[in-house]
Amino acid sequence: MENGAARPAPAVIVAIDGPSGTGKSSTSKAVAAKLGLSYLDTGAQYRAITWWMVTNGIDITDPTAIAAVAGKPEIISGTDPSAPAITVDGTDVAGPIRTQEVTSKVSAVSAVPEVRARITELQRSIASAAEPGIVVEGRDIGTTVLPDADLKIFLTASPEARASRRSGELKGADVKSTREALLKRDAADSSRKTSPLAKADDAVEVDTSDLTLQQVIECVVTLVEEKRAAK
């Protein structure tokens, strides 16, 4: 190497999929920060378009009504893992998209093919523009959005482990009802016709049930570094 300059690490696109409560977001953000990669929370984008539909009085039970306006909101996602931001038509919605009202409606909105086509296109453009590489987390990244990702990881965990984590996040929520809500969301996301929640054939499955968050992060960092070294 001339002048002893280190060769920059090759750009790597990492897809991390899995259901809610598996540690996807925490893991993805930490891995991206540790390795100097961009980060994209695709679930936040679906929450953002759902928030826009609710705010504008669109009938969430009517797929035709949702499809008709799917192209209207301007959604901009920040890709800094230490401060992921998301705006809709210039409004910061990072907080509002996490409400129970949005959470309860996001599966219905995200099942509409026109919504998925719009958001998938947005996700692909963000991923292709990320020069150092990017960690993209969601439910259909390895199968639909970025089928050619350098590394695909599918995080799983037992319903009990996921419910206890999620109820902890939701400050005192009842674990039993949280578990039921998670399983209901899984069923909706796994059975939808367009881009269901599914593990890609070439994904590495990581069961996080008995692992600490730090252990999961270390495991994924190792997988990414191995993939980088092989490029």
Buried/exposed 72-81: b ≥16 CB within 10 Å, e otherwise: ebebebbbeb
Give the integer Cα–Cα distance in Å for 134 and 129: 9
Encoded amino acid at 27, one letter: T
Q: Residues 6 or more apart from 186 whose CB is under 8 A from it? A: 19, 20, 197
Please, what is the Cα angle at 157 between 204 and 122, to 5 degrees?
60
Q: Which H helix or E strand runs over 176? A: helix 175-191
Give the integer Cα–Cα distance in Å for 77 and 179: 29
Paired tokens of 222: 């190792």
- The secondary structure of residue 147, as a DSSP letter, is T
Residue-by-residue pLDDT tens, the chain, 231 positions? 444 455 677 889 999 999 888 889 999 999 999 999 999 999 999 999 999 999 999 999 999 999 999 999 999 999 999 999 999 999 999 999 999 999 999 999 999 999 999 999 999 999 999 998 999 999 999 999 999 999 999 999 888 888 787 776 666 667 788 778 877 877 777 777 887 878 999 999 999 999 999 999 999 999 999 999 888
Whether residue 9 contacts residue 130, with contact meaning beta carbons closer than 8 Å, is answered with no
Please, what is the Cα angle at 113 between 108 and 117, to 5 degrees?
120
Encoded amino acid at 41, one letter: D
The pLDDT value given to residue 225: 94
pTM for this predicted structure:
0.87
The pLDDT value given to residue 124: 97
Give the integer Cα–Cα distance in Å for 151 and 202: 9
Encoded amino acid at 29, one letter: K
